[in-house]
Amino acid sequence: MISNIEEDKTNLTPFQKEVARRRTFAIISHPDAGKTTLTEKFLLYAGALALAGSVRARSSQQHTASDWMSMEKQRGISISATALEMEYQGFHINLLDTPGHQDFSEDTYRTLMAVDSAVMVLDSAKGIEPQTEKLFKVCRMRGIPILSFINKLDHPGRDPLELLDEIERLLGITAVPMNWPVGQAPDFKGVYDLNDHRLRLFQRTEGNKFRVPVRLSGMDDPSLPALIGEATHRQLTEEIALLAGVVSKFDRARFLAGEMTPVYFGSALNNFGVEPFLEAVLELAPPPSIRHTEQGIIDPISEDFRGFVFKLQANIDPRHRDRMAFVRVCSGHFKKDMQVLNPRLKQQIRLSRSFRLFGRERETVEEAFPGDVIGIISPGQLTIGDTVTTGKPIDYARIPTFPPEHFGLLFNDDVTRYKQFNKGLEQLEEEGAIQIFFAEDSLKREPIMAAVGELQFDVVMARLKDEYGVEARLSRLGFTGARWARNSKSERLALPRSVRRCRDRHGETVILFNSEWELDYIRRENPGLTLAEMV
Ligand code: G4P
């Protein structure tokens, strides 16, 4: 629901104006669809990359501002979600980065709890890929408005109508083209804006380094057939006539409800269609909106400061061995040193170490507004899902934990590093990087590491080594799933020998299993027992 700052823009207080000009969103895509390139171009328009001096030039092996962990650099994938802030045309943009690789989707899901809208990037040759489908379902579940960018139009791709149809079919959302490609690669000539009925023509520039000069003209411009070619002109005229009959009209209310997505075509790499797309994002995407909780609604413009922790990350900067809690501000005016309540701990906390991150650089934040993300250093006092407030305690929607599918016993052969090993595991588990279980029915006391995606194991092993100086060894276990055993009538459970009974860090019983047959057996032999998928 939109706060009344959208309805009445005339009499806003300075604080309300700050809220109204904020746009907080994430870009989601399948790896390689062009998320990094699009992010980079957005930063370029905002002048932010020039400031940070970190424009990526793959040829010289530099990396984007959001691409900072050494693992990420080696593999060229973005593992952790960071927040980028920029100013553009009077808007204050908070762009939350999400990992594209599906092994880190838990991190992405948590980040989606902190955004007001999402941008979906699709590769025009591939359409909806499995990862995009999963992420989109999360957006749909949360009713997050989605804008779509179909990328790589400079390369041969699929038929645009077929792509729109695929979005509608697989994601169950109405797709409304806002512009239409003119010609197909290698003769891609530009896009036709279906709202203002003008053409933006794409001209290659040397090395694609600079902004493309944009040439605008209407369909009735007599020079058009010569400009784009007779055949392309004829085809475009036919396609536009056809579109009028088959696509829905854009309806912002349906977009805000997450039922309709406006679709833009372009090429991020060639910087074509990026600027109008960024402008559309700012115009159509909502400012921070009202959030519903079990205890009532939270209006961003209310006086009470409220925020919630959606991410924890230790050791971002090796010079500061500390842990940062990323707080999304939901309402009120944040001021450094303010005193807030953490209702979970029933404790007052002074937020005196508040930071803004640009890549790995940190800078002190003196104030922040709804929609912003601040990094708070507050040892042991904040964990994922916590809320902080100056008002009445309110819980936000729970941040989900996903059921792990990969398991391994973790050995630390160096007894002198015992303390570091335990500390590392505890911190990485608190960050949500992995879950740790201990087997109850075996003499082995080694922790069992459980992850949603395989690559999480590699990250944890690398971070144990780099950040805690521990060379751990992993021995994979063959289990394929875990369930939390609840409501058991007795401590004794009748279990098949092939499963393993463990405890998680809250002391709850978790059963690791291999097959549905085992789950059926457990349900049958233990009447009343619930096998929960999530914590
Ligand atoms: P991701 O973050 O979604 O994983 O994708 P990223 O932006 O890294 O882009 C993946 C690849 O697609 C990159 O190529 C990038 O240059 C290319 N790409 C992005 N946008 C476009 C586009 O509009 N047209 C074309 N043709 N390619 C595009 P790469 O080979 O991995 O790297 P590079 O050597 O080209 O930099």
State the ipTM, two decimals. 0.97
Of 47-61, 326-340, 462-476, 489-503, give the range with the top mean pLDDT.
326-340
User: Which are the contacts of 241, defined by CB distance < 8 A and separation ≥ 6?
Assistant: none
- Is residue 151 lining ligand 1, measured as CB closer than 6 Å? yes
Check if 22-186+253-285 and 292-389 are the same fold: yes
Q: 35: helix, coil or strand?
A: helix
Report the SS3 class of residue 201: strand
Identify the residue with better confidence: 131 or 334: 334
Write down the pLDDT at residue 420.
92
Domain spanning 292-389, CATH class: alpha beta
Tell the CATH superfamily of the 22-186+253-285 domain.
P-loop containing nucleotide triphosphate hydrolases (3.40.50.300)
Q: Which tens digit of pLDDT belongs to each residue from 194-208?
A: 988 888 887 765 555
Q: What is the pLDDT of residue 211?
A: 45
Which one of 28, 29, 32 would you pick to mutate in the ligand 1 pocket, going by the greatest count of ligand atoms within 8 A of its CB? 32
486 vs 395: which has the higher pLDDT: 486
Domain range 406-532, CATH architecture? 2-Layer Sandwich (3.30)
Name which residue leads in pLDDT, 388 or 143.
Answer: 388
pLDDT tens, residue by residue, 214-241: 566 677 778 888 888 888 889 999 999 8
The residue among 509, 512, 480, 507 whose CA lies nearest residue 496 is 512
Please state, as a whole number, how many other Cβ atoms lie within 10 Å of the Cβ of residue 169.
11
* Predicted local distance difference test score (pLDDT) of residue 251: 96
User: How far is residue 425 from each of residues 110, 292, 449, 455, 468, measured CA to CA in Å?
Assistant: 20, 34, 9, 16, 10
pLDDT of res. 318: 63
Share of the chain above pLDDT 70, in %: 83
Domain boundaries, the chain: 22-186+253-285, 292-389, 406-532
Quick check: helix, strand or coil at residue 187?
coil
User: What residue's CA is closest to ligand 1, atom 20?
Assistant: 269
Instruction: Point out the ligand 1 atom lying closest to the alpha carbon of residue 268.
Output: 23
**Nearest one of 89, 131, 98 to 26, comparing CA atoms:** 98
Whole-angstrom distance, CA of residue 273 vs CA of residue 280: 11
Residue 452 or residue 79, greater confidence: 452
Q: Express each pLDDT in 339-380 by its tens digit.
A: 999 988 889 999 999 987 655 667 788 999 999 999 999 877
Is residue 273 within 8 Å of 266, Cβ to Cβ? yes
More confident residue, 515 or 202: 515
Contact between 503 and 437 (Cβ < 8 Å): yes
Total residue count of the chain as it appears in this document: 535
29 lines ligand 1 (CB under 6 A): yes
pLDDT, greater one: 473 or 85: 473
Distance of CA 264 to the CA centre of its chain: 20
Out of 43, 77, 269, 271, mutate this one to test ligand 1's pocket (max ligand atoms within 8 Å of CB): namely 269
Contact 310, 115 (CB under 8 A): no
* Encoded tokens for 38: 């699009």
- pTM, full prediction: 0.81
The amino acid occupying position 520 is D
Say yes or no: CB of residue 154 within 6 Å of ligand 1. yes
* C-beta 58 within 6 A of ligand 1: yes
Protein residue with its CA nearest to atom 24 in ligand 1: 152
Identify the residue whose C-alpha is closest to ligand 1 atom 36. Answer: 58
Tell whether residue 30 is among the known ligand binding residues: yes
Identity of the amino acid at 502 = C
